[in-house]
Amino acid sequence: SQTIHQWPATLVQPVGSPLSLECTVEGTSNPNLYWYRQAAGRGLQLLFYSVGIGQISSEVPQNLSASRPQDRQFILSSKKLLLSDSGFYLCAGLRATNTGELFFGEGSRLTVL
Protein backbone atom coordinates (compact mmCIF):
# COMPACT_ATOMS: atom_id res chain seq x y z
CA SER A 1 0.00 0.00 0.00
CA GLN A 2 1.04 3.59 -0.56
CA THR A 3 2.24 5.33 2.58
CA ILE A 4 4.04 8.52 3.52
CA HIS A 5 6.52 8.93 6.36
CA GLN A 6 7.05 12.46 7.53
CA TRP A 7 9.45 13.85 10.15
CA PRO A 8 10.05 15.38 12.55
CA ALA A 9 6.58 15.16 14.10
CA THR A 10 7.12 18.27 16.21
CA LEU A 11 9.63 21.06 16.01
CA VAL A 12 10.21 24.23 18.00
CA GLN A 13 12.55 26.68 16.34
CA PRO A 14 13.63 30.28 16.99
CA VAL A 15 12.91 33.03 14.50
CA GLY A 16 15.66 33.25 11.91
CA SER A 17 16.75 29.63 12.20
CA PRO A 18 16.68 27.18 9.27
CA LEU A 19 14.10 24.50 8.65
CA SER A 20 14.08 21.10 7.04
CA LEU A 21 11.03 18.85 6.97
CA GLU A 22 11.35 15.56 5.19
CA CYS A 23 8.84 13.26 3.58
CA THR A 24 9.41 9.85 2.01
CA VAL A 25 6.96 7.71 0.07
CA GLU A 26 6.61 3.94 0.00
CA GLY A 27 4.57 1.65 -2.18
CA THR A 28 4.62 3.64 -5.38
CA SER A 29 7.06 5.19 -7.80
CA ASN A 30 7.13 8.68 -9.28
CA PRO A 31 4.05 9.97 -7.46
CA ASN A 32 2.89 13.57 -7.53
CA LEU A 33 3.80 14.97 -4.10
CA TYR A 34 2.45 17.98 -2.22
CA TRP A 35 3.29 20.12 0.79
CA TYR A 36 0.33 21.71 2.57
CA ARG A 37 0.26 24.05 5.54
CA GLN A 38 -2.59 24.18 8.00
CA ALA A 39 -2.64 27.25 10.22
CA ALA A 40 -4.84 27.35 13.31
CA GLY A 41 -8.51 27.74 12.39
CA ARG A 42 -7.88 27.63 8.67
CA GLY A 43 -8.10 25.02 5.97
CA LEU A 44 -5.24 23.51 4.04
CA GLN A 45 -3.06 25.79 1.96
CA LEU A 46 -1.10 24.22 -0.90
CA LEU A 47 2.53 25.35 -0.73
CA PHE A 48 4.37 23.23 -3.30
CA TYR A 49 3.78 20.31 -5.57
CA SER A 50 6.12 18.11 -7.56
CA VAL A 51 5.47 15.82 -10.50
CA GLY A 52 8.97 14.34 -10.51
CA ILE A 53 12.63 14.60 -9.50
CA GLY A 54 13.80 18.20 -9.54
CA GLN A 55 10.38 19.49 -10.62
CA ILE A 56 8.83 21.88 -8.12
CA SER A 57 5.90 24.23 -8.54
CA SER A 58 5.22 26.91 -5.96
CA GLU A 59 1.68 28.00 -5.21
CA VAL A 60 2.35 30.78 -2.73
CA PRO A 61 5.35 33.14 -2.67
CA GLN A 62 7.06 32.98 0.70
CA ASN A 63 10.37 32.27 2.39
CA LEU A 64 9.91 28.51 2.10
CA SER A 65 11.34 26.28 -0.62
CA ALA A 66 10.95 22.66 -1.61
CA SER A 67 13.18 20.12 -3.27
CA ARG A 68 12.78 16.64 -4.67
CA PRO A 69 16.22 15.09 -4.82
CA GLN A 70 14.91 11.55 -5.27
CA ASP A 71 11.78 10.02 -6.69
CA ARG A 72 10.32 9.21 -3.26
CA GLN A 73 11.76 12.09 -1.23
CA PHE A 74 10.26 15.55 -0.84
CA ILE A 75 11.83 18.17 1.41
CA LEU A 76 10.46 21.47 2.70
CA SER A 77 13.07 24.02 3.74
CA SER A 78 13.63 27.55 4.90
CA LYS A 79 16.84 29.49 5.42
CA LYS A 80 15.31 31.83 8.00
CA LEU A 81 12.04 31.09 9.74
CA LEU A 82 9.43 33.74 10.48
CA LEU A 83 6.83 33.69 13.26
CA SER A 84 4.15 33.33 10.58
CA ASP A 85 5.68 30.02 9.47
CA SER A 86 4.23 28.33 12.53
CA GLY A 87 1.64 25.73 11.66
CA PHE A 88 0.96 22.12 10.87
CA TYR A 89 2.66 20.88 7.70
CA LEU A 90 1.36 17.94 5.77
CA CYS A 91 3.03 15.99 3.01
CA ALA A 92 0.68 14.22 0.61
CA GLY A 93 0.94 11.99 -2.41
CA LEU A 94 -1.47 11.40 -5.25
CA ARG A 95 -2.72 7.81 -5.40
CA ALA A 96 -2.11 5.98 -8.63
CA THR A 97 -5.85 5.70 -9.29
CA ASN A 98 -6.19 8.74 -11.55
CA THR A 99 -9.13 10.00 -9.48
CA GLY A 100 -7.45 12.76 -7.49
CA GLU A 101 -7.32 10.81 -4.23
CA LEU A 102 -4.54 11.85 -1.86
CA PHE A 103 -2.76 9.93 0.88
CA PHE A 104 -1.20 11.90 3.71
CA GLY A 105 1.67 11.74 6.13
CA GLU A 106 1.07 12.22 9.84
CA GLY A 107 2.07 15.87 9.76
CA SER A 108 4.75 18.03 11.36
CA ARG A 109 3.87 20.63 13.98
CA LEU A 110 6.20 23.64 13.69
CA THR A 111 6.27 26.33 16.34
CA VAL A 112 8.45 29.36 15.67
CA LEU A 113 9.26 31.42 18.77
Long-range Cβ contacts of 100-103 (<8 Å, 24+ apart): 102/34, 103/2, 103/3, 103/4
By beta-carbon proximity to another protein, the closer residue of 44 and 56 is 44
Residue 20 parent element (H or E): strand 19-26
Please give the residue ranges that form the binding site for another protein (CB under 8 A).
Answer: 4, 6, 42-44, 46, 88, 90, 92, 98-107, 109
> Closest separation between CB of residue 18 and another protein, Å?
23
| Cβ contact 49:32 at 8 Å | yes
Between strands 87-94 and 33-38, the pairing is: antiparallel
> Closest separation between CB of residue 80 and another protein, Å?
26
By beta-carbon proximity to another protein, the closer residue of 29 and 42 is 42
> Closest separation between CB of residue 44 and another protein, Å?
5
